[in-house]
Amino acid sequence: MITGVDHIAIAVENLEDAVKLYEKVLGIKPEQITPFDPQKVKVAIFKVGETKIELISPLSPESAVTKFLQKRGEGLHHIAFKVDKIEEALNTLKREGIRLVDEQPRLGVEGAKVAFLHPKSLKNVLIELCQK
C-alpha cells in the first residue's frame, strides 16, 4: 500500500521566520512558497533527497492549523506517505477500523490526490496519504 514518504509537515506560527531559520541552520532553500486556500494555510516546500519538508502556517483563525498551534504549539503536524491507489487504500483502512478524516481524496497543495487518517486511530499522529 505505502510506497514511500512524500513529506513531513511542520506547523509554524510565522512562515517567513521559519523559512529563514531552515535556510540558515540547515542550508536548504524552499522550492516553492504558496498559499493553499482550501486549507487556509501558506506552505513552504523544501526538497530534501527523495522527500520533502513542508512548513505550514495558518492564513486564517478558522484554519485547522490555527487550532493545532493553539493546542499543541509549533512542531510536527503530519507525515505524508505515497500510495499508488488511494481509494483502494482508504477502503482497506476503513475496513480495518481506521477512522478517516477524508472518506474520499481531495486535491493537495501540489495537485496530488490526498486524504488524511484520523490521529486517534494512529497513536496521535496525523497521517496523510498522497497519490501523484
Nearest to 108 by CA among 2, 3, 12, 9: 9
- pLDDT of 1 strictly over 90: no
Nearest to 51 by CA among 88, 2, 100: 2
**Which CATH number belongs to the domain containing residue 66 in this structure?**
3.10.180.10
When pLDDT is averaged across residues 109-121 and rounded to a whole number, the result is 96
**Cα-Cα-Cα-Cα dihedral sign, residues 129, 30, 14, 20:** positive
Entry pTM: 0.94
Cα(87)–Cα(104) distance, integer angstroms: 7
Q: How far apart are the first and last CA of the chain?
A: 14
Residue 24 vs residues 30, 44, 49: alpha-carbon distances, Å: 12, 15, 18
Domain count, the chain: 1
Give the model confidence (pLDDT) of 47-93 as tens digits: 999 999 999 999 999 999 999 999 999 999 999 999 999 999 999 99
**Residue 15 structural domain:** 2-131
Cα(54)–Cα(47) distance, integer angstroms: 9
Give the model confidence (pLDDT) of 25-48 as tens digits: 999 999 999 999 999 999 999 999
